Structure 1
């Protein structure tokens, strides 16, 4: 969840403040208790009834590293207290008014919000009873979005290799990333990955291969997929894991094509397990990694991961089955194995995973990590650029899975050795194909459109959202 700062703003007249203190504290305490019951950590500042307390309390709350700051209005409140407190904090601001008619909390919020408008300080206004479920949920949405956006600032993206196969949408302006999102880019040559893989722990690689042989289905063919090639892919994972730890990399992208895929091995196994919440050593943190070193794809995935805590799908928009109104989201790179069953138990996921020999595109060989994504409601999104300006393209959909014969037939119509997510999207195909700004798309289970809308607003990114109506 999130860390939320709360400052209750009062009337500046001493006798009025003394009269209202109990009422304000009662409302504020009910409000903070509801936030805590929803799983948030709450930092409560002193009750604001003077100029000096407005600044000091806001600074104290800001020093606690809150994701958002709530200014709470249970009564009429002097607006300049809000102005001083707002100046003392840089976190996103939520102005929340009690709707108890006994006191003019709404009046206090509107007066304060109007004053903030006059100086151009962005804020969001909400209102309701202090423990109203919809109010607490909306604050949670805003707080999770703010936490995710804040986590990007000061982070580092590890870019292994350069632009893949002339793919312009996979390359972003590093100055723009730093200015708009606070993200630095560390350039890492793929040759370092190769060298590190050759020196990686052979015993761990062999143990990992045996673990995969036990839990997944490995289709060795003696040529494009051998135990030695599978261990090379695992050693590549170990190499990236070590580089990421040494250089303080927060999320990554690996070019792969054509150098590694033609001369070393594909990165499919590496990317899948970097994105998984486990490996052969047990549970671990997800390390968001985009195939084809797709920078905007990785940034989208990192934002979605920070909001949800789950792995994030990376896929090509491969094919549209018009007869079924189903999209095949399929890519040779990572679909984290977690998507096979979305279970916390890796054995349950890997039971549905096949490691097939790589196809003719990739002469170096290795395993492709194949499965059919588990069904369920999904949020799909992608940060793309239009004339250099970022936009968040956003929609809802459902992953579907069918009987074994139908799944196999649908997969065989494209590339059966690769992972597939069969998706019914809430957008007409002509609209999507005419306006989507990339070949890669990303997804997480559930409906996180409200959080992504709020995150886009905080990042200064326009939202382009689709629905079935177009």
Structure 2
């Protein structure tokens, strides 16, 4: 959950403030209680702002507590210049919240303050309602989670292993633009570093990892050619190597080019990418490290934003096929799906019981295991940060992952690449709209409906929002 600052703004006339002080405190208590019950940490201003000096000092104290978003609360008519001074002392996102209790002109105070902020170009969000309304607390919470996610990007480092894969322009972004707009630095790392480090990885851990996979997976289908114990070991050692590089270079999220050098001469990175994106490995629970295949920079950035909002792993997939007769999409990419998506369980054994490790297909002469499963059904938020004429946009939609009986699943998978992982998705957007407008071949997904947070994040990032729904 988020850390939310709350500051009540009052009238600057002493006698009016004295009359209103208890009314303001009551509204603030109700708001704080509602936010706390929703699971948020609340930092309250020491007192209602009724003077110029308090506007600055109270706002500075709340800002110093490291809040994700600051709520200016208007229960009564409030002098607008107090808001201007408090906003100047508050560097993070602002919400102006008006009480709709008709006994006092809180709406008037909020509108006057909001208009003043508009005049100086200070971005803010305006909300209104009863301070104890759980729906209002949920809306504030969405904005706060979005603000925390956006703030987490600034000062972070993306580890880019390799360069542009197979001429894929949408996988490469401008590093200057990333720093300017998102505050993200890019650390360039040659894939040869990964190969060198993998050959020196701890063999004891490699053996432990393969035994764990063999014991828990639905199957490890060695064929003596494209998938052997030695090749699976090589993939595991690649995971060990990149995990150590991540720790040494303090990388916050990553991407691995893979194709064609590693996939033709060393091994695929499917096992590496799957377990980096998982919340566990053979050593037990761990943090998710967002990693995009094909070193997809905008894909990784989308995934990191989605992860910071949801707290879960994030799906990475190609938009492989549209089954028009069923109105479902096959979201499929070589081994990139985290194994967590197989059952979305905190218990890795439950997930891996639905995961098969198959020999890689002809695209990848070096071989290795593809990490196969069908994603568990459920409501999903899907989308991606894409660029049009140099400007970022967030293309966003709701959808449903579906799974069918075994015969149907197999029949659908055989129409594309059955060895790879699949997510069968019914998207809340017509097929012709999606195919005519989506700005990449890769798409990303998280469980649940997180559109409110992502709308707020797009606004904070100064990113155009393309949100698609079906006409009702």
Tell me the TM-score normalized by structure 2: 0.99
Given that 1:142 and 1:454 are in contact with CA atoms closer than 8 Å, whether structure 2 keeps it comes out as yes
Query: 2:434 matched to 1:459?
Result: no
Given that 1:95 and 1:125 are in contact with CA atoms closer than 8 Å, whether structure 2 keeps it comes out as yes
SS at match of 2:116: helix
Give the C-alpha shift of residue 469 in structure 1: 2.6
CA distance in 2, matches of 1:450, 1:421: 24
Instruction: Name the counterpart of 1:36.
Output: 36
User: Aligned match of 2:347 in 345, 348, 354?
Assistant: 345
Instruction: Name the counterpart of 2:447.
Output: 445
Deviation per residue, 1:141-190 (Å, 9 max, x gap): 11111110010011000000000000000000000000000100000010
Runs of 4+ in 1 over 4 A off after TM superposition: none
Q: Which structure 2 segments of 5+ residues have no match?
A: none
Note the aligned Cα RMSD (angstroms): 0.9
CA distance in 1, matches of 2:321, 2:426: 12
Give the C-alpha shift of residue 465 in structure 1: 1.3
CA distance in 1, matches of 2:161, 2:116: 48
Given that 1:291 and 1:333 are in contact with CA atoms closer than 8 Å, whether structure 2 keeps it comes out as no
Instruction: Name the counterpart of 1:303.
Output: 305
Instruction: Name the counterpart of 1:114.
Output: 115
SS at match of 1:72: strand
Given that 2:292 and 2:316 are in contact with CA atoms closer than 8 Å, whether structure 1 keeps it comes out as yes
Query: 2:87 matched to 1:83?
Result: no
SS at match of 2:179: helix
Instruction: Name the counterpart of 1:413.
Output: 415
Instruction: Name the counterpart of 1:422.
Output: 424
The 3 A distance-change label for structure 1 pair 288 and 381 is same
SS at match of 2:28: helix
Instruction: Name the counterpart of 2:189.
Output: 188
CA distance in 1, matches of 2:186, 2:471: 39
Query: 2:270 matched to 1:268?
Result: yes
Deviation per residue, 1:380-430 (Å, 9 max, x gap): 010000011101111111111000011011111100100000111111111
Instruction: Name the counterpart of 1:179.
Output: 180
Given that 2:380 and 2:447 are in contact with CA atoms closer than 8 Å, whether structure 1 keeps it comes out as yes
SS at match of 2:212: helix
SS at match of 1:270: helix
CA distance in 1, matches of 2:398, 2:104: 41
SS at match of 2:222: coil
Instruction: Name the counterpart of 1:25.
Output: 25
Query: 2:256 matched to 1:254?
Result: yes
Deviation per residue, 1:229-276 (Å, 9 max, x gap): 111111111111111111110000000001100111100000000000
CA distance in 2, matches of 1:387, 1:74: 44
Instruction: Name the counterpart of 1:369.
Output: 371
CA distance in 2, matches of 1:433, 1:116: 40
Give the C-alpha shift of residue 468 in structure 1: 1.9
CA distance in 2, matches of 1:323, 1:129: 47
Give the C-alpha shift of residue 29 in structure 1: 1.1
Given that 2:335 and 2:372 are in contact with CA atoms closer than 8 Å, whether structure 1 keeps it comes out as no
Instruction: Name the counterpart of 2:57.
Output: 56
CA distance in 2, matches of 1:464, 1:408: 34
SS at match of 1:286: coil
Tell me the TM-score normalized by structure 1: 0.99
Give the C-alpha shift of residue 101 in structure 1: 1.7
Q: Which structure 1 segments of 5+ residues have no match?
A: none
Given that 1:339 and 1:374 are in contact with CA atoms closer than 8 Å, whether structure 2 keeps it comes out as yes
CA distance in 1, matches of 2:203, 2:223: 22
CA distance in 1, matches of 2:65, 2:268: 45
Instruction: Name the counterpart of 1:145.
Output: 146
CA distance in 1, matches of 2:415, 2:193: 37
Give the C-alpha shift of residue 333 in structure 1: 3.7
Query: 2:436 matched to 1:434?
Result: yes
Deviation per residue, 1:67-106 (Å, 9 max, x gap): 1000011111111100000001111100001111222111
